[in-house]
C-alpha cells in the first residue's frame, strides 16, 4: 500500500503544481492582452486629441476636415444651377457652383462651425431658401512632391485659420503666394483675386471667397494630373 499511496500523493502534487502553473500562465496572457488593448486605445485617443489640438491651433489636416456651407440647392444639370445662381446674385449674394460627383452644388458661403453657419444664415436677408450643410474639405496628395505637399499644408493652414477667425490674413497670403511651386503658379492669380485684392468686409463674402479659392486649388490639382 505504501508505494500506491506515494504514487497517488505524487500525482496529486504534480497535478496541483501543473494546474497552478497553467492558471498563472493564462492570467499573464490575459493581462498582457488587456494591457496591449489599453495601449492601443490610448494611442487612438491620443491621435484624436492631437488632431483636435492641431485644428484648434490653425493646422488643417490635408486628409480632410469639415466646414459648414450655406447651400442654395443641388442640381443634376449645370443649366439649372446657373439659373438659380443668377437669382441669388440678383439679391446681392455671392453664389458659386461646385461640381462634385456629377452634381452641381450652389454654395453661398462657408464658415468653420455649425453655430456660425446658423448665425450667418440669420444675418442674410433673402427670399430664397438657404440650407446649412456639413462640407468635407481635403487635398488629394497623390503624385505630389515633398515640397509641393509642404506648400499645400501652408496654404491649408492659412486658409483654415482665416475660416476660423473670419478674417483674411493678407500678409500671410502674400508670403504663401511667393513660395508657390512652379507647378501651381496659376494659383497665384486666384490668391490675388479672392483674398488679397478682394475686400471681404462681410462674413458672407469672406466665406464665399475662401470657398472659391479652395475650389480653384482642387481643380488646379486635377489639371496637373
Per residue in 90-124, pLDDT (tens digit) is: 999 999 999 999 999 999 999 999 999 999 999 99
What is the domain extent for residue 110?
65-224
Yes or no: say if 177 and 154 are a contact pair by the CB < 8 Å rule: no
Same domain? 115 vs 167: yes
pLDDT of residue 54: 47
Same domain? 36 vs 125: no
Domain boundary among 57, 74, 89: 57
Same domain? 137 vs 80: yes
Beta bridge partners of 111: 68
Same domain? 102 vs 40: no
pLDDT of residue 161: 96
CA distance 202 to 213: 17
Same domain? 36 vs 116: no
Percentage of residues in the chain with pLDDT exceeding 90?
A: 65
Of the candidates 136, 157, 138, 152, which has an alpha carbon nearest to the alpha carbon of residue 58? 157
Q: What average pLDDT does the chain have?
A: 84
Q: Band of the pLDDT at 142, cuts 50, 70, 90? A: confident
Query: Is it the case that residue 213 has pLDDT exceeding 80?
Result: yes
Yes or no: say if 162 and 210 are a contact pair by the CB < 8 Å rule: yes
Query: Is it the case that residue 189 has pLDDT exceeding 60?
Result: yes
For residue 123, the tally of other CB atoms under 10 A from its CB is 10
pLDDT of residue 165: 95
> Which carries the bigger pLDDT value, residue 38 or residue 68?
68
73: domain CATH number?
3.30.70.1070
Q: What's the total number of domains in the chain?
A: 2
CA distance 131 to 121: 8
Same domain? 83 vs 130: yes
Beta bridge partners of 66: 136
Per-residue pLDDT tens over the stretch 5-33: 666 656 556 666 666 655 565 445 455 54
> What is the pTM (predicted TM-score) of this model?
0.74
Amino acid at each position: 500500500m505504501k508505494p500506491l499511496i506515494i504514487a497517488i500523493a505524487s500525482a496529486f502534487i504534480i497535478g496541483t503544481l501543473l494546474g497552478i502553473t497553467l492558471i498563472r500562465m493564462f492570467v499573464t496572457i490575459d493581462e498582457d492582452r488587456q494591457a496591449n488593448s489599453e495601449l492601443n486605445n490610448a494611442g487612438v485617443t491620443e491621435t484624436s486629441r492631437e488632431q483636435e489640438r492641431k485644428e484648434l491651433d490653425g493646422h488643417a489636416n490635408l486628409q480632410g476636415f469639415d466646414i459648414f456651407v450655406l447651400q442654395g440647392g443641388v442640381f443634376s444639370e449645370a443649366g439649372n444651377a446657373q439659373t438659380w445662381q443668377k437669382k441669388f446674385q440678383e439679391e446681392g449674394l455671392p453664389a458659386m457652383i461646385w461640381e462634385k460627383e456629377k452634381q452641381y452644388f450652389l454654395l453661398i458661403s462657408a464658415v468653420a462651425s455649425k453655430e456660425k453657419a446658423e448665425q450667418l444664415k440669420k444675418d442674410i436677408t433673402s427670399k430664397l431658401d438657404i440650407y446649412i450643410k456639413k462640407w468635407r474639405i481635403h487635398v488629394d496628395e497623390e503624385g505630389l512632391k515633398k515640397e509641393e505637399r509642404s506648400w499645400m499644408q501652408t496654404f491649408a493652414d492659412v486658409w483654415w485659420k482665416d475660416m476660423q477667425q473670419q478674417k483674411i490674413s493678407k500678409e500671410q497670403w502674400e508670403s504663401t503666394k511667393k513660395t508657390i511651386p512652379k507647378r501651381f503658379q496659376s494659383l497665384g492669380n486666384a490668391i490675388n483675386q479672392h483674398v488679397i485684392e478682394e475686400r471681404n468686409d462681410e462674413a458672407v463674402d469672406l466665406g464665399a471667397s475662401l470657398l472659391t479659392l479652395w475650389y480653384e486649388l482642387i481643380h488646379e490639382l486635377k489639371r496637373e494630373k
